[in-house]
Structure 1
Amino acid sequence: MLKNLTGKTAFVTGGAHGIGRGIVEALRLAGARTAFCDINTELGEATARAAGADFYPADVADADALCNALEAACERFGDIDILVNNAGISEFSPLAETSLEQFDRILAVNLRPVFVTAQWMAARRNTPEGRTRYGRIINIASTRWLQSEPGSEGYAASKGGIVSLTHALALSFSDYNVTVNCISPGWIDNGNFGSISEQDRRQHPSGRVGRPADIARACLFLADPKNDFINGQNLVVDGGMTKKMIYCE
């Protein structure tokens, strides 16, 4: 799939580091003109220099700031063909101690921007010519959409919402040449492999924890112009962990 996205334009939310940076780098290597936003200006500028991408500082919880970043990228590149909704936060706390403001903030960062960017694309493409243009929306969810630990209510709700919103959006975009899919990563290490034990690795059927590049390659697969028959799906990339039966010993 190398260079199969030449001539396409991509926009990634939360692209400054971790999985987001891996996606930005992969899209650039595949030939896509790539822009991204992030709240971390220092890391965003570093990623932009390293990847050859355009960076727009923005807090995705601010819908106006997010749409302004999308519009700025359009002014530079003409249009956005591929939207990757990657931005997210994880804040775990005991249920009795979790504030409503904390819960709302997680949804505002993780879930609401998926709707905001999709609505923006639908409005922009809502012309006879626009409805025929190639387009891809790829949302980053999590295996926590169906598995949880105590104190993860906000995160689980946001990721479950992304999976459900993905198939709803796929139907809403059925009159457009736009597919909508999501990816649910499992344990992805963002650079701390030194702290991962052999037991951590062995518990995965694949024999290791994930890397950002694993998710980036899945994005390239879904973005491939030939893969237009994959739509409304949730692709789990977790080394097989969600298929493993686990009992306490």
Structure 2
Amino acid sequence: MQSYYSSKVVLITGGAQGIGLGMAQAFAQAGAQVVITDLDQEAGQEALERLKGQNLTLTFIACDVSQEQQVQQLMAQVQEKFGRLDVLVNNAGIASPPRTPLAELPISEFDQVLGVNLRGPLLCSKYALPLLKKAAHPAILNITSTRAFMSEPNTFAYSASKGGLEALTHSLAISLGPKIRVNAISPGWIETGPWEKESKRYEPHHRPQDKAQHPVGRVGTPEDIARAALFLCSDQAGFITGQRLTIDGGMTVKMIYHDE
């Protein structure tokens, strides 16, 4: 991947922490010029320092991807600095307050989650188009979730937004091909503790039963997602578009009848 991504320009939304930061590090290690955008400016600055400590370069631009004008400004800055975009990773996402019963769910919170998780990828894809068309083999990667096709109780907004993003993925693939390939990764349980900003960072602890829910015997890491992202956005995946790759250690195909 080192030779393929050398000098490629990669934009990752929600790239300051968690899975996004894991992907940013992987693309940078592969030689790409990586731009991350995030609403959390503190996390963005920490991400810059973290990768700088590994002799990796990173550009941070603050942006709320649910706001059209901010997305337009983001792409204008990418245009000014790099002149093109090879890979757009729509990773930014928020979750509604966990397990809020439907009768108590504030519709404003539902709208906010869909604004970031679904409207955001559409806006970013729309305004990145002129930049992507300048690249030789451009790609868009959407980070969805296994919550798109399975749920815990009372997770309406997050599940609906990720399900919508799954559908948006194949719609974009059909609409933007053959020039631009569009795929998705659906992560399962990914442990992001070591990849959070310092004030939120924690040491992971997983019970035996947590690991046992996964046929591979462990919980996932951002590195697991990053390796797949490098593949799907490269020329090695040139015949793959409109697809979703589930990365969950086999959790969604295991039948569980009781708490193991």
Query: Structure 1 length as normaliser, TM-score?
Result: 0.93
Q: Does 1:220 align with 2:223?
A: no
Tell me if the contact between 2:117 and 2:161 (Cα under 8 Å) persists in the aligned partners: yes
Q: 2:218: which partner in 1?
A: 208
Separation of aligned partners in 2, 1:158 and 1:26:
26
Amino acid corresponding to residue 35 of structure 1 in structure 2: V
Count the aligned residue pairs.
244
Q: Does 1:47 align with 2:54?
A: no
Q: 1:104: which partner in 2?
A: 111
Separation of aligned partners in 2, 1:175 and 1:204:
37
Which ranges of 4 or more aligned residues in structure 1 deviate by more than 6 Å?
A: none
Q: SS in structure 1 opposite 2:236? A: coil
> 1:3 Cα shift?
4.1
Identity of aligned residues (%): 43
Tell me if the contact between 1:141 and 1:185 (Cα under 8 Å) persists in the aligned partners: yes
CA displacement 1:76-123 (0-9 Å, x = unmatched):
111111000000011221111111101000000111111111112334
CA displacement 1:44-84 (0-9 Å, x = unmatched):
01112322200001111212112211220221111111000
Q: Does 1:38 align with 2:38?
A: yes
Q: 2:186: which partner in 1?
A: 184
Unaligned runs of 5+ in 1: none
CA RMSD, 1 decimal: 1.5
Matches within 5 A, 1:95-174: 95-124=102-131, 130=134, 133-174=136-177
Separation of aligned partners in 2, 1:53 and 1:122:
22
Separation of aligned partners in 2, 1:222 and 1:170:
13
> 1:134 Cα shift?
1.4
Check 1:67–1:203 CA distance in 2 against 1; reply closer, same or farther (3 A cut). Answer: same
Q: 1:77: which partner in 2?
A: 82
Separation of aligned partners in 2, 1:25 and 1:124:
22
Tell me if the contact between 2:19 and 2:225 (Cα under 8 Å) persists in the aligned partners: yes
Separation of aligned partners in 1, 2:15 and 2:90:
9
Q: 1:199: which partner in 2?
A: 209
CA displacement 1:129-155 (0-9 Å, x = unmatched):
x4x731010000000000001110100
Separation of aligned partners in 2, 1:187 and 1:3:
31
Separation of aligned partners in 2, 1:114 and 1:71:
17
Amino acid corresponding to residue 117 of structure 2 in structure 1: N
Separation of aligned partners in 1, 2:214 and 2:203:
15
Separation of aligned partners in 2, 1:3 and 1:197:
40
Check 1:40–1:220 CA distance in 2 against 1; reply closer, same or farther (3 A cut). Answer: same
Query: Structure 2 length as normaliser, TM-score?
Result: 0.89
> 1:193 Cα shift?
5.0
> 1:4 Cα shift?
2.4
Match of 1:88 among 93, 103, 111: 93
